[in-house]
Structure 1
Amino acid sequence: MEQFEEAFEKAMARGSDGVPGAAVAVVNQEGNYVYQNVKGHDGVHNGATALNFDRTFFLASCTKLITSIAALQTVERDLIRLDDPLDEHLPELTTQPIIVGGVDATFEWKQATKSITLRHLLSHSSGAVYDFMDSALTAWRQSREETPTVSQSGIVAKDYAMPRTFEAGEGWMYGTSLDWAGLLVARLNSMSLEQYVEENISIPLGMTSFTWHLSRKPHVEGNLVRMSVRGEDGKLSAGTHPPFPEPVEEGGGAGLYANVHDYTRVLADLLKDSPILLKKTSVDMLFAPQFEEGGAGLSALYANSEMTYKPMVGQSIDGIVINHGLGGLLVQEDIQRETYFKPKGTLTWSGLPNLLWSINRERGLALMFAVQVIPWNDKEVQSLSAQFETAVWRHLSR
């Protein structure tokens, strides 16, 4: 780890040209820290203080893993099956037409013929995508004099009730599927997603920092790390604090706040022979490849790397063998380059402010890299993150 630690020190020493601060951790299946480090400050604002390990991070899309766990818990309760049609439960989504086009600001419609299932939602194969990532949806928004955006209210049924871009099961694209999965969890369990996560994930693992609503947990709000924004000149400036207004409801795709200690409690639990949150068979499904070789889903997964997971595979998809599980991107064969390594069997995903988590059950470790810098795929942060992960898998794992 010495080479990473040297890079860590240099990144923090570069001021607004480098990385303001980061917390990194590696845990084993007992939940013990194999490695833990924190350096830098809680932002670049006036009055920034030294970062410590108890600080709160905006998790963005790292929220999705928590929602996947909640959804599989709901399956375990026999409230839904993975392949049941969701027409009755999520009509705001399932009645949406499919939009095609987008060239020269044109688009057309076709009626969907296949039902969406929870499996489709958890594997991003439902056709529900972020509007700013699709040209047809962008044209549709413009035709309505609307701006493509990510929901800040958390009211999924209203903010994300928009056309889908392909038939369920016939593609892959990152988007709003996990937000809809969170709404499904809330409806089937007759409680808000926040309440569900508190009762069924936070309390069983003894965690206190998980929340979508900072006002409900003052100790979490008071520890919030400030967002830093990288400008076109490469310099960091202070971002909005908090990064988004407090939501009305909760979206399962983003919006959760937590500290690194609590998030790694979840990662460690997924490594256990007898997990607390899920049955072992359900954890297996998180790690199970969902797309057939040569199928439309797998082809689309490779084709859509640039806007979605490229930083998680070392900035290049050349030679990689991947799939998608029910919990994130799944590495099917070692990604081994001179300066980057990610082993076979790793389940992984990231979050907008350049966070990263990875789990590998064969090697018995999980890791988290937490920082608050936007925009996504910041080259300074991603270089450091890649060095951290590479050092973990090459030097700490069995």
Structure 2
Amino acid sequence: MDVTVRAEAVAAGLSAERLARIDGWMDRLVGDGKLAGLSVTVARRGCVAYRRCTGLADRERGTAMAESTIVRIYSMTKPLTSVAIMMLYEEGRFQLDDPITRFLPCFANQRVLTGGTRGKVETVPAVRDITFRDLLTHTSGLTYGFMESTLVDGLYRSEGVDFQTSDATLAEVVERAARLPLLAQPGTAWNYSIATDVLGHLVAVIAGQPFGDFLQERVIGPLGMVDTGFHVPAEKVARFAANYGRGPDGALTLIDDPASSRFAAPRAICSGGGGLCSTAGDYLRFCQMMLNKGELDGVRLLGRKTVELMTANHLGGDMAAMGQPRFSESSYEGIGFGLGFSVMLDPARAQVLGTPGEYAWGGAASTAFWIDPAEEMAVILLTQLMPSSTYPIRRELRVLTYQALVD
């Protein structure tokens, strides 16, 4: 750890010596062949207390992991999309309990799965329409095709409900989803889903401009997130990390080469649920805006009360009380969900260090962030390994970060 960061750590109420334990943890992950490379950023009280990169962003080319490395953040896109739709909420364009059929009539007269087989799906009418709040809290009854656990997941795959690889438009894929049954009655169960992609389409419909343009003009640009976007331009591909999985022998294997990646060219769909690439520095600017209750460097995206509403728990309890089996981006016990973020309710029940009111999320390639308003702290973990449940690195980093608080 350099002298500057050591001094910043002490000023921010963190032990530099205890933070240095993160060094050994990072080096072991790379040395043991679990990760090709990773970066960790810890900010507190407006300054960076710890920032380190180790290993390789691209093993095949020998490119080191660096602060400027661009990675696929996948579902860490969701919080930015949630901010975008809430900016329109602040303009009085809709209320949280408004049915989305007000803007998307294709979601009228939905059906809800009750059983059956792929050849004969059994459904009943939805008792009410999906609302904006349902989408923001993942209680809409929508799902993801990659879950591969229900009949509806299978229908998503067969009907081309895929916002990552489809050549169709955002509107067309949303309309495909609207024709399929819901997993549960709206508002009754937490189920991770394409809901945030639907929110991206709602942004486009309500604002009257393409979702990607709105996000760039109203969120990414004003925050100065200069390396964040839905594709990596040719002049930046040299900084774009490779993405890895694990082969049959457990060794790292390349699954997405940066030079030939679909992220290296403009995408047919700007996926609000998982389409962005970004850097540690860029994402820290987003986190600091949230910590500042909606403002950064004189630019205000949201009002203080809106941020407080977004980061409160909107479920009846924790996710374990109303959700599917444990999902890799978060544990369920002791964790609630707000408008675009998971929310820590009870660290003892979650069985990990943390603070009630801390909010967070992660991405499919093992990236993660969390923001702790009480401790005035934000932490960002970037790497590129799929699936994100391969190793418990998010929980391990939580312990290593919180044990360093000494004030």
| TM-score strictly above 0.5 | yes
1:351 offset after TM fit, Å? 0.4
The CA deviation string for residues 345-386 of structure 1, in whole angstroms up to 9 with x for no partner, is 21111100001111110110011100011122112xx33x33
In the TM superposition, 1:1-398 aligns within 5 A as 1-14=19-32, 17-30=33-46, 32-45=47-60, 47-101=61-115, 106-133=120-147, 134-140=149-155, 151-153=164-166, 155-160=169-174, 161-162=176-177, 163=180, 164-214=182-232, 217-242=233-258, 243-244=261-262, 246-272=266-292, 275=295, 276-293=300-317, 299-301=321-323, 304-309=324-329, 312-313=330-331, 320-335=333-348, 340-379=352-391, 382-383=392-393, 385-396=394-405
Q: How many residues align?
A: 375
Could you give the per-residue CA deviations for residues 304-324 of structure 1, whole angstroms, max 9, x where no partner exists? 242344xx34xxx5xx42211
> Structure 1 pair 98/240, CA: closer, same or farther in 2 (3 Å)?
same
Shift of residue 148 of structure 1?
A: 7.5
- Structure 1 residue matching 2:248: 3-state secondary structure: coil
Letter in 2 for 1:113: V
Gaps of 5+ in 1: none
Which amino acid is 1:221 matched to?
V
Distance 1:394 1:41, change over 3 A: same
1:139 to 1:68, Cα distance in 2 relative to 1, 3 A: closer
Q: Could you say what the CA RMSD is over the residues aligned between the two structures, in angstroms? A: 2.5
Q: Which runs of 5+ in 2 are unaligned?
A: 1-18
Partner Cα separation in structure 2 for residue 259 and residue 139 of structure 1: 34
Q: Distance in 2 between matches of 1:373 and 1:298?
A: 26
Question: 1:336, CA displacement in angstroms?
Answer: 7.7
Q: Which amino acid aligns with 1:34?
A: A
Amino acid at match of 1:324: F
Aligned partner of residue 222 in structure 2, secondary structure: helix
1:59-118 deviation line (CA, Å, top 9, x unaligned):
111100000111111101111221111113122334442223256875212222312111
Tell me the SS of whatever aligns to 2:403: helix
Counterpart Cα distance in 1 of 2:336 and 2:30: 35
Residue type of the alignment partner of 1:37: R
Contact residue 105 and residue 136 of structure 1 kept, 8 A = no
Deviates more, 1:89-98 or 1:99-108: 99-108
Report deviation, 1:331.
Answer: 0.9
SS in 2 for 1:341: coil
Q: Secondary structure at the match of 2:58?
A: coil
| One-letter amino acid of the counterpart of residue 392, structure 1 | T
TM-score when scaled to structure 2?
Answer: 0.84
**Retained in 1: the 8 A contact 2:163–2:170?**
no
Residues 112 and 157 (structure 1), Cα distance of their counterparts in 2 relative to 1, 3 Å cut: farther
Distance between the aligned counterparts of 1:220 and 1:194, measured in 2?
19
* AA partner of residue 300 (structure 1): M
Identity within the alignment, %: 22
> 1:393 deviation in Å?
1.7
Contact 1:62–1:254 (CA under 8 A) maintained in structure 2: yes
Q: CA deviation at 1:273?
A: 5.0
Between 111-120 and 99-108, the greater mean CA deviation after superposition: 99-108
Could you tell me how far apart the structure 2 residues matched to 1:102 and 1:37 are?
A: 52
Residue range with higher mean Cα deviation, 351-360 or 2-11: 2-11
